[in-house]
């Protein structure tokens, strides 16, 4: 699940990795333990179910995040949990104080498909609630067992994690589904079609994308598509695409020598100055400052 670790790197560019499942050959799940400095976190769209557990914490540290149309302000105490389902656009995430030892667990969509097959009932991670600060001892216990495996790899680690991933997925569906990416009855977009729309956006993020193209993929009128997409994802299509393009800009700044003008063009901004203003507003620093920090 290398792409999952790449997602963690993109979402938490300033969060130091203490432990990682990268290279462990796990299936179904990946995990990382990170330290997070205070400040804003870029909000990419998860392609897998993200479960976060504070292994340590502080009485005064807060995690503020906005996604799926709701604002959450959660004290980051030891044992605090957060859920972020597939496809949820977190418009903003802010940490008020440095946080140490935060466990991030990523469960692949294929795990939920396997659970569906096993129980002959469709279960979908994009219907799980966007939650923070809830009490769930099962999730905490799974998290601590995964952390122990990260600290000291065992000979049965791959099998253990595979089983924990499926147990976690079934548990999340049984307790927390029914909210999240719900839509009104008169405007529906099927989960499979929403996935194809999001895949198309990701595959074509450096080209001009029209609502007509996306609505055709979703098999909806343009009007109904925009409403259904916003209901399902939490933001309208243009804001979703804008967030992904700024995420792409961060990748290009950190890992290529492309000029700011070239990156602005690749991310479909009309000019370098427009790109710089949007980037500073979204990330909090200029593109040039971001590149210098990323390459320090």
Map out the domains of the chain with their CATH numbers: 2-176 (2.60.120.10), 191-294 (1.10.10.60)
The pair of structure tokens assigned to 275 is: 């790109």
Taking the C-alpha atoms of residue 207 and residue 268, their distance in angstroms, rounded to an integer, is 7
Tens digit of each residue's pLDDT (9 = 90 or more) over 108-157: 888 888 777 666 566 667 778 899 999 999 999 999 999 999 988 876 68
Tens digit of each residue's pLDDT (9 = 90 or more) over 19-35: 999 888 888 899 999 99
- Structure confidence at residue 182 as a pLDDT band (50, 70, 90): very low
β-bridge mates for residue 49, sequence order:
107
% of the chain at pLDDT higher than 90? 38
- Structure confidence at residue 226 as a pLDDT band (50, 70, 90): confident
Helix axes 237-255, 222-233, angle to 10 degrees: 60
pTM of this prediction? 0.61
User: How many beta carbons lie within 10 A of that of residue 233, not counting itself?
Assistant: 25
Taking the C-alpha atoms of residue 32 and residue 19, their distance in angstroms, rounded to an integer, is 5
Average pLDDT, stretch 181-192?
A: 60
List strands edge to edge, sheet with 81-84.
Answer: 16-20, 29-36, 99-107, 49-54, 81-84
- pLDDT above 50: residue 36: yes
Going by their DSSP bridges, the two strands 99-107 and 70-75 should be labelled as: unpaired
- pLDDT above 70: residue 97: yes
Tens digit of each residue's pLDDT (9 = 90 or more) over 241-286: 888 888 899 999 999 999 999 999 898 887 888 789 888 888 889 9
pLDDT of amino acid 242: 82
Average pLDDT, stretch 168-174?
A: 88
User: How many beta carbons lie within 10 A of that of residue 221, not counting itself?
Assistant: 13
């Amino acid at each position: 699940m290398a792409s999952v670790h790449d997602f963690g790197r993109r979402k938490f560019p300033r969060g130091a990795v203490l432990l990682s499942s990268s290279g462990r050959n796990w299936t179904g799940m990946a995990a990382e333990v990170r330290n997070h400095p205070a400040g804003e976190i870029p909000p990419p769209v998860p392609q897998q179910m993200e479960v976060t557990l504070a292994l340590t914490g502080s009485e005064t540290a807060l995690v503020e995040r906005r996604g799926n149309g709701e604002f959450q302000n959660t004290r980051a105490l030891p044992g605090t949990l957060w859920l972020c389902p597939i496809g949820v656009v977190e418009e903003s995430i802010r940490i008020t104080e440095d946080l140490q030892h935060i466990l991030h667990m990523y469960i692949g969509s294929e795990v939920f498909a396997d659970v569906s097959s096993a129980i002959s009932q469709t279960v979908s991670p994009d219907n799980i609630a966007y939650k923070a600060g809830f009490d769930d001892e099962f999730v905490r216990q799974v998290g601590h067992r995964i952390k122990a495996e990260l600290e000291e790899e065992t000979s049965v680690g791959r099998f253990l994690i595979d089983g924990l991933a499926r147990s976690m997925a079934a548990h999340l569906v049984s307790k927390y589904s029914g909210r999240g990416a719900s839509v009104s009855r008169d405007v529906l977009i099927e989960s499979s079609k929403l996935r194809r729309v999001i895949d198309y956006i990701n595959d074509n993020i450096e080209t001009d994308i029209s609502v007509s193209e996306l609505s055709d993929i979703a098999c909806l009128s343009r009007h109904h598509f925009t409403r259904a997409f916003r209901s399902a994802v939490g933001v309208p299509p243009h804001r979703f695409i804008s967030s992904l393009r700024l995420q792409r800009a961060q990748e290009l700044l950190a890992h290529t020598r492309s000029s700011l003008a070239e990156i602005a063009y690749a991310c479909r901004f009309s000019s370098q100055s427009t790109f710089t203003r949007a980037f500073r507003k979204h990330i909090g620093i200029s593109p040039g400052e971001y590149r210098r920090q990323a390459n320090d």
